[in-house]
Amino acid sequence: MEPSASPARPFPLRTRGAVLLALLVAGGWAFAYLDLSFGDLVPNEGGLDIAGRFFGRAFSPALTSEADFVPEGTPPLLVASLAALKTTIVYAAAAMSLSLLLGLFLGFFASTAWWAGDPVGGRTLLGRTLAPAIYGFTRVLIGFMRSVHEVLWAVLFLAAFGLTPLSAVFAIAIPYGGTLAKIFSEMIDEAPRGPALALRGAGASGIQVFFFGLVPRALPDMMAYAFYRFECALRSSAVLGFFGYETIGREIEQAFDGTNYGEVWTHLYVLMAVIVLFDWWSGQLRKRFVA
């Protein structure tokens, strides 16, 4: 009688552990390749003085302008900060409105749920031929949109169209639209299929199943992610101020260039406050929506 084969030992690392280990190894290799050293983070004597003065003003932000010369007619510091914040929010809202349209439209075609297999009619001619081609093209398109950062888009549009509000809006909307399309499509594909199967069994078409059986199940997560991206859009809109757009980032840059660190912290706190406010507001809306 032949001895029974010993059972195979399970791999000590599961898939997630193996991925985490691979990331750690890649990170260690990157540190070695770049010859990184934490000693490089120690500033010189002049840098320590600047850092000390900058972070020291975090506890005493300015309430009035600290500039040596303030031109006549210049609005008070807080008024100027709030006006720049208003422009920042307007840019972010306009960009998010456009990116949401792009995300919903492209997210539909980047999803397999409307054509691949039951319950959405993958056995039709459309599901076998045309739909996969549209899906592949859309995935490549949104990958291109996401691969270029909004700062690079801003540089391109600034060179092509000048310092116009539309160029700032498009610089944010294009990469955000691609990101929303990718995430929305994945959320829809991963949505529970119970209602969709029931609708399919009742004779609903593939498009009806998609919009009434799948999208409603994914909508709370889609809305939560859209609010998160709006908070990111606020920060991106502020960063565009360093290119000359009239957002709060321009106020921060001008104050920093003038070593008016109290003004810098005033603008930073105003921006932080509005982001926290929008985070709280979005949380309240999500609770009502899910309930």
- 120 or 172: whose pLDDT is higher? 172
Which residue's structure tokens are 């321009």? 250
What is the second-level CATH architecture of the domain 84-290? Answer: Orthogonal Bundle (1.10)
* More confident site: 46 or 89: 89
d(CA 104, CA 186): 12
CA contacts within 13 A on the Cβ side of 110? 24
- The whole-angstrom distance between residue 168's C-alpha and the CA centroid of its chain comes to 16
Q: For residues 148 and 290, which has the higher predicted lDDT (pLDDT)?
A: 148
Residue 97: pLDDT above 50? yes
Q: For 34-43, 129-138, 180-189, which range has the lowest pLDDT when averaged over its residues?
A: 34-43
Model confidence at 120, in pLDDT bands (50, 70, 90)? very low
SS3 118: coil
Q: What is the pLDDT of residues 243-273, one digit of tens each?
A: 889 999 999 999 999 889 999 999 999 999 9
- Nearest-10 Cα torsion for 276, 279, 280, 283: -170
Examine the pLDDT at 121 and tell me if it is beyond 50: no
Listed in sequence order, the residues at least 6 apart from 93 whose beta carbon sits closer than 8 Å to its beta carbon are 230
Q: Which two tokens stand for residue 33?
A: 């390749």
Over residues 70-79, the pLDDT tens digits come to 787 788 899 9
pLDDT of 163 over the 80 cut: yes
Rounded CA-CA distance 119/193 in Å is: 8
pLDDT digit string, tens, across residues 164-220: 999 999 999 999 999 999 999 998 888 777 777 777 777 776 677 777 777 888 888
> How far apart are the C-alpha atoms of 283 and 78, rounded to whole Å?
28
Tell me the average pLDDT across 283-289: 74
Concatenating the DSSP letter of every residue in 65-122 gives ---S---TTPPPHHHHHHHHHHHHHHHHHHHHHHHHHHHHHHHHHT-STTTSSTTS-T
Across 68-102, b (16+ Cβ under 10 Å) vs e yields eeeeeeeeebeebbeebbebbbebbebbbebbbeb
Band (119; pLDDT cuts 50, 70, 90): very low
Per-chain mean pLDDT for the chain: 83
CA dihedral (246, 248, 253, 258) positive or negative: positive
- Measuring CA to CA, how many Å separate 259 from each of 48, 49, 67, 99, 254? 15, 12, 9, 36, 9
- Please report how the helices 261-290 and 248-257 are oriented relative to each other, as an axis angle in degrees rounded to 10: 160
pLDDT class of 235 with cuts at 50, 70, 90: very high
Q: What integer pLDDT is reported at residue 19 of this predicted model?
A: 85
Angle at 183 between CA 178 and CA 188, to 5 degrees: 125
C-alpha dihedral (155, 160, 166, 168), degrees to nearest 10:
0
pLDDT at 123: 52
* Per-residue CA distances from 80 to 84, 168, 171 (Å): 6, 20, 25
Q: Where are the domains of the chain?
A: 84-290
Q: Could you give the CA distance from residue 161 to residue 244 in angstroms, rounded to a whole number?
A: 14
